[in-house]
Structure 1
Amino acid sequence: MSKLILFNKPFNVLSQFTDKGTEGSARQTLSDYIDVPNVYAAGRLDKDSEGLLLLTDNGRLQAKIANPKFKMPKTYWVQVEGEPDDAAIDALRSGVKLKDGMTRPAEVKRIDEPPILWPRTPPVRFRKTVPDSWLELTIREGRNRQVRRMTAAVGAPTLRLIRYSIGEWSLDGLASGDWREA
């Protein structure tokens, strides 16, 4: 029977088990949190992003989760600088032109600060003169740093990015740094 692990990846943790960075670096990896043999991340979550990361020992499941051709929905809570207007929201919903082409349409809605939010270390830097707001954004592709590039393209740079769910799996009941088998 294959394993599927749901992990709430903290900020500043690499989505891999070893750090092939510079010698002597002390970056945290998945091995600092998960001691389960033969599981691998299904997809990636950037070091400066937080939230749900799925790990499995099943290659087919890994491909189904990670490969954009399967269009598995990935939902993010995105804290952005400013308060995106209706035109910005509509642009995200229609697809945004990035340097590598148009994105697929996203599902987007404004939300209050998520209720299950944990403190981030280091905390997000705010500017006193610029408000911030939260969006819930669902995409069905996975380009490099896509959500950050999409919000920047509509004039609302991302301050904090948390992946809340992938398909039917979510962060519900998982504190930052915790994991469980599905």
Structure 2
Amino acid sequence: MEAFKSEHRHFIIYKPYGYLSQFYSNSKQQKAKNFLGELYDFPEGIMPVGRLDEKSEGLLLLTTDGQMSNFINSKKVEKEYYAQVDGDITKEAIEDLKKGVEIGFEGRKYQTKPCEVFKLEGVPNLPKAIQKIRDDRHGPTSWVSITLNEGKFRQVRKMTSAVGFPTLRLVRVKVGLIHLNNMRNADVIEVDDFIV
């Protein structure tokens, strides 16, 4: 357990689906995108600790402390995700995910590290999805918890696809000891420090 306390400012947010994990862009292609700065009047120098891709949602830490950001981005801090997958995920698929699967990363094959995976009983208590997700009339879906201490681009989505159960919704619920708890879409909480 490591605590970071300083003159810096720290925030815990629920990043909504459809937002980029950045504050602005000069790119013409991204003018129509949603950015974190639209959620709150954040201080100058604020940065996301890690990222969630545009189609992912959930717990995101923000800070003005680059040293703390570097620590959390290191492989020492575990991150837990809830993934709603297409189909009723099998025990075999879960075992494969636990052992590590081969995914594509930067044009090469990559073997994911062993990780903690289990099937959730029922639907987790999360905010209603902003994006449209097909319902059970088109076949079953199920939820899994995946805890990683690595974070390749779109890794969880690639992992569930590799075992035949593509991700329909992805929510990060935990970073180290910090949990999403009852936060809802676009919630922003300023904290004195992070204990991860």
TM-score by length of 2: 0.86
**Residue 94 (structure 2) aligns with:** 89
1:146 & 1:22 partners in 2: Cα distance? 28
**Letter of the 2:67 counterpart:** R
2:15 & 2:167 partners in 1: Cα distance? 18
**Letter of the 1:29 counterpart:** F
**Letter of the 1:16 counterpart:** Q
Count of aligned pairs: 179
Match of 2:119 among 110, 117, 123: 110
Structure 2: 5+ residue stretches without partners? 1-5, 192-196
Any idea what the Cα deviations from partners look like across 1:109-142, whole Å, max 9, x if unmatched? 1112112x11222321346332100001101100
**Residue 194 (structure 2) aligns with:** none
**Residue 14 (structure 2) aligns with:** 8
**Letter of the 2:162 counterpart:** A
**Residue 155 (structure 1) aligns with:** 164
**Residue 69 (structure 2) aligns with:** 62
**Residue 52 (structure 2) aligns with:** 45
1:107 & 1:23 partners in 2: Cα distance? 38
- Tell me by how many angstroms 1:73 deviates: 0.5
**What value does the CA root-mean-square deviation take over the aligned residues?**
1.5
- Tell me by how many angstroms 1:45 deviates: 0.3
- Tell me by how many angstroms 1:23 deviates: 5.2
1:156 & 1:136 partners in 2: Cα distance? 13
**Letter of the 1:41 counterpart:** P
Structure 1: 5+ residue stretches without partners? none
The percent identity for this pair of structures is 37
Structure 1 runs of 4+ aligned residues shifted over 3 Å read none
Change (3 A) 1:153 1:179: same
2:145 & 2:78 partners in 1: Cα distance? 12
Structure 2 residue matching 1:123: 3-state secondary structure: coil
2:151 aligned with 1:142, yes or no?
A: yes
Change (3 A) 1:45 1:23: closer
2:27 & 2:143 partners in 1: Cα distance? 33
Change (3 A) 1:102 1:57: same
2:40 & 2:184 partners in 1: Cα distance? 14
- Tell me by how many angstroms 1:66 deviates: 1.5
2:30 & 2:89 partners in 1: Cα distance? 42
Structure 2 residue matching 1:3: 3-state secondary structure: strand
Q: Which moved more, 1:140-149 or 1:168-177?
A: 168-177
**Residue 30 (structure 1) aligns with:** 36
Structure 1 residue matching 2:139: 3-state secondary structure: coil
1:153 & 1:58 partners in 2: Cα distance? 36
- Tell me by how many angstroms 1:84 deviates: 1.4
